[in-house]
Structure 1
Amino acid sequence: MKLEDILRSIYDLRDASLNKLIERISPARFPKGHRLFNTGKIETDLYFISKGMARAFLNTEAHEITFWFGKEGDTVLSYNSYIHNKPGYETIELLEDSELYRLKTVDLMELYNEDIHISNWGRKLAEYELVKTEERLISRQFKTAIERYKELIERQPELIQRVQLGYIASYLGVSQVTLSRIRAEIK
């Protein structure tokens, strides 16, 4: 996905502001399995996915819990680092060989201070991410596992082909055996 398309999908920036933002962004490529962010570290970059998939997860004593998937067009950032300049709680791992666009958080904060249009773009980015987070929380709290799986198929069908079932099961809050039963029941 082209950088300009990703940025404009968040908020339709004026050309001058868009160019200022693009000047601060650089391409990056990483292999499958690369960890963009690590738990307990202050992350100084944010990324936009041009090609590839990522997942965010937390480690517990018993296992990993996947709570987010990102694909082409999505923004990857550690909220605690971005907002508070504190260590993040998540690990973000690439699930495929990926092409990304990297932006230094310090550069973005500087642009927010210089350009109201970029500042508005950042506000829209935060708003979109908040709504997506809220939708995941509501789904997890108020829907059954079958409803969550059907919603996943409806909203993000590509995940079924591109992501290991164990990660999907974790994301849905069920065991892999339960996910297999749900899949068999739906077919």
Structure 2
Amino acid sequence: MNIDTILDQIFPLPERSKSVLQTLISEIEFPKDSIIIKAGKLEKTIYFIKKGIVRAFVPQENQDVTFWFGKEGDVVLPMKSYVGNDNNYENIQLLEDSVLYQLEIASLRELFETDIHIANWGRKLAEKELVKTEELFISRQFRTASQRYLELLREQPEILQRVQLGYIASFLGITQVSLSRIRAEI
């Protein structure tokens, strides 16, 4: 997915503002299994996924807990670093060889001070990510694992084709055996 489309789906910008923003964005490739955002670290970069798939997870004693998947067109936003200039709590791992666009948070903040359109774009970015987080929270709290699996199947079927079952089971909050049962029932 190209960067114009990704930026516009967050919030349309006037061409001049978009052009200025794009001068700060570069394309970078990473191999599968790279950790591009690390827990406990102040992250300085936002990523936009051109090609590939990622997972967000929190390391736990016995196993990692996956809580989000991103794919082409999605934003990889270390929210605590972006909003609070604070250490991040999650890891972001690439599940495929990936091509990402990167944007330094400090450079973006500088643009917020000089371009109201980019400042509004940054606000919309944070708002959209907040809504996604709220939807994930509500789904986790009020839906069964079967309902969450069906929701994933309906809204992001490519995840089921491209992500290993262990990560999907972790995302659903169940064991891989339970996931196999749910899949067999459907």
TM (normalized to structure 1)? 0.98
Paired position in structure 2 for 1:132: 132
Identity of aligned residues (%): 58
SS of 1:137 mapped into structure 2: helix
SS in 1 for 2:171: helix
1:75 aligns with 2:50: no
SS in 1 for 2:103: strand
SS of the residue aligned with 2:28?
A: strand
Consecutive unaligned residues in structure 2, runs of 5 or more: none
Number of the residue aligned with 2:176? 176
* Deviations 1:111-148, CA, capped at 9 Å, x for gaps: 11110000111111111111111111000000011100
Q: Distance in 2 between matches of 1:60 and 1:173?
A: 13
Partner amino acid, structure 2, of 1:35: I
2:119 match = 119
Question: Are 1:53 and 2:53 matched, yes or no?
Answer: yes
Matched, 1:34 2:53: no
User: 1:45 & 1:166 partners in 2: Cα distance?
Assistant: 28
Question: Is there any run of 5+ residues in structure 1 with no aligned partner, and where?
Answer: none
Q: Return the alpha-carbon distance in structure 1 between the equivalents of residues 88 and 130 of structure 2.
A: 17
Q: Give me the CA root mean square deviation.
A: 0.6
- Quote how far apart the aligned CAs of 1:43 are: 0.5
The aligned amino acid for 2:30 is F
Deviations 1:51-82 (A, max 9, x none): 00000100111210000100000010211111
- Partners of 1:167 and 1:27 in 2: how far apart? 27
Q: Which runs of 4+ in 1 moved over 3 A?
A: none
Distance 1:98 1:61 in 2: 28
CA distance in 1, matches of 2:71, 2:88: 20
1:3 aligned residue? 3
Using the alignment, how far apart are the partners of 1:144 and 1:77 within structure 2? 27
CA distance in 2, matches of 1:129, 1:38: 19
